[in-house]
């Protein structure tokens, strides 16, 4: 369900970008990114309201780590990802800035309503700025974002394209919900802490929409959609989800995340940005490296190193 619906989202989003004269990067940063981040929001809000804020915050931080390492790594391994300079200079820096703000606010003992208001205001500013920048770029270029020969494989009707996006996102949400509910139940049954569940199992489950979308975009040689989706999802997770949940109910910072995971997120956000700046593309060897880093991160959560690090 996840893979099939992700293919629908990619095809519909690329066609909508063509019809509206917008870049696939902007569509990936908004419609696709926000739609595939919906599982994180539903999961984080449900966990916070159910008096399990450790799982809520772990889901946000863990999902972003999974996006940067596992999702981006697998997408680059499937097919090398080439991205426009705009994605790196504007949206990559925006992701890093959002991560820094999130870390700084988290160091102030957690996220309350005023922290949430700051984060939500930043995501609204970012969306408005991205839209205006893309409109100016489209007007200057005066070209469609994809070549004509690609149109034959995409829906011709704008209504059909919109239905593919909406229907695909709904299917993605259902598939992710089924996996998260089953996986979290198994994890609790074997006595894993809520923080670790949020950082690994639930985070991985809610990141599967991004993974499915990135794989299908990579296979179709839409590197901007894949990278834009990941950058946009990470920005949305930190600002919109973290801020939105904090506006509704406080999110205290779990000690483990404060000591270790939030710094892992900041480090790899910077590292991925540097990899992109190094050549505006991610090759298979970079993909393998990112996947290996995610395997090591999960091993720390469950293995003997957890005691050594003091988690």
CATH of the domain at 173: 1.20.1420.30
Separation CA 253–CA 40 (nearest Å): 17
Whether 274 contacts 76, CB under 8 Å:
no
Q: Is 195 a member of any domain?
A: yes
Using CB atoms within 10 A of its CB, is residue 190 exposed (0-12), middle (13-18) or buried (19+)? exposed
Give residues with Cβ within 8 angstroms of 186, minimum separation 6.
Answer: none
Higher pLDDT, 169 or 153: 169
Q: What is the DSSP string of 248-276?
A: HS-EEPPHHIIIIIHHHHHHHHHHHHHHH
Confidence category of residue 145, pLDDT binned at 50, 70, 90: very low
- Mean pLDDT across 158-182: 80
Q: Is 125 a member of any domain?
A: yes
Q: Is 225 a member of any domain?
A: yes
Separation CA 283–CA 107 (nearest Å): 35
Q: Is 229 a member of any domain?
A: yes
Give the domain range for residue 66. Answer: 2-142+156-303
**Dihedrals phi, psi of 192, to nearest 5 degrees:** -90, 145
Confidence category of residue 144, pLDDT binned at 50, 70, 90: very low
Instruction: Check whether 150 has a pLDDT greater than 50.
Output: no
Separation CA 122–CA 236 (nearest Å): 10
Q: What is the pLDDT of residues 41-54, one digit of tens each?
A: 777 887 788 777 88
Q: How many domains does the chain have?
A: 1
Q: Is 308 a member of any domain?
A: no
Q: Is 149 a member of any domain?
A: no
pLDDT score at 149: 36
Separation CA 214–CA 84 (nearest Å): 16
* pTM of the model as a whole: 0.78
Q: Is 311 a member of any domain?
A: no
Mean pLDDT rounded to a whole number for the chain? 80
Q: Is 148 a member of any domain?
A: no
At residue 279, the 3 state secondary structure works out as: coil
């Amino acid at each position: 369900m996840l893979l099939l619906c992700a293919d629908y989202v990619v095809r519909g989003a690329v066609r909508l970008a063509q019809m509206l004269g917008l870049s696939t990067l902007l569509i990936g940063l908004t419609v696709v990114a926000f739609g595939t981040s919906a599982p994180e929001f539903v999961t984080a809000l449900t966990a916070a309201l159910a008096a399990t804020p450790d799982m809520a915050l772990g889901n946000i931080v863990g999902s972003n780590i999974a996006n940067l390492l596992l999702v981006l790594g697998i997408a680059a391994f499937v097919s090398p990802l080439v991205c426009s300079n705009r994605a790196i200079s504007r949206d990559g820096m925006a992701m890093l800035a959002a991560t820094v703000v999130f870390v700084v606010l988290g160091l102030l003992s957690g996220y309350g309503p005023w922290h949430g208001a700051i984060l939500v205001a930043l995501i609204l500013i970012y969306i408005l700025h991205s839209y205006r920048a893309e409109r100016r770029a489209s007007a200057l270029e005066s070209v469609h974002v994809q070549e004509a020969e690609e149109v034959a494989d995409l829906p011709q009707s704008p209504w059909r394209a919109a239905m593919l996006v909406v229907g695909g996102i709904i299917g993605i949400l259902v598939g992710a919900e089924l996996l998260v509910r089953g996986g979290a139940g198994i994890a609790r049954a074997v006595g894993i802490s809520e923080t670790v569940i949020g950082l690994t199992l639930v985070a991985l489950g809610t990141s599967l929409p991004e993974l499915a979308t990135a794989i299908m975009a990579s296979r179709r040689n839409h590197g901007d959609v894949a990278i834009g989706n990941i950058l946009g999802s990470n920005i949305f997770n930190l600002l919109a989800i973290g801020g939105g949940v904090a506006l509704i109910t406080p999110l205290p910072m779990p000690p483990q995340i404060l000591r270790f995971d939030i710094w892992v997120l900041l480090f790899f956000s910077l590292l991925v940005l540097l990899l992109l700046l190094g050549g505006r593309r991610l090759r298979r060897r970079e993909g393998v490296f990112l996947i290996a880093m995610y395997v090591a991160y999960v091993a720390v959560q469950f293995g003997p190193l957890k005691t050594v690090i003091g988690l």
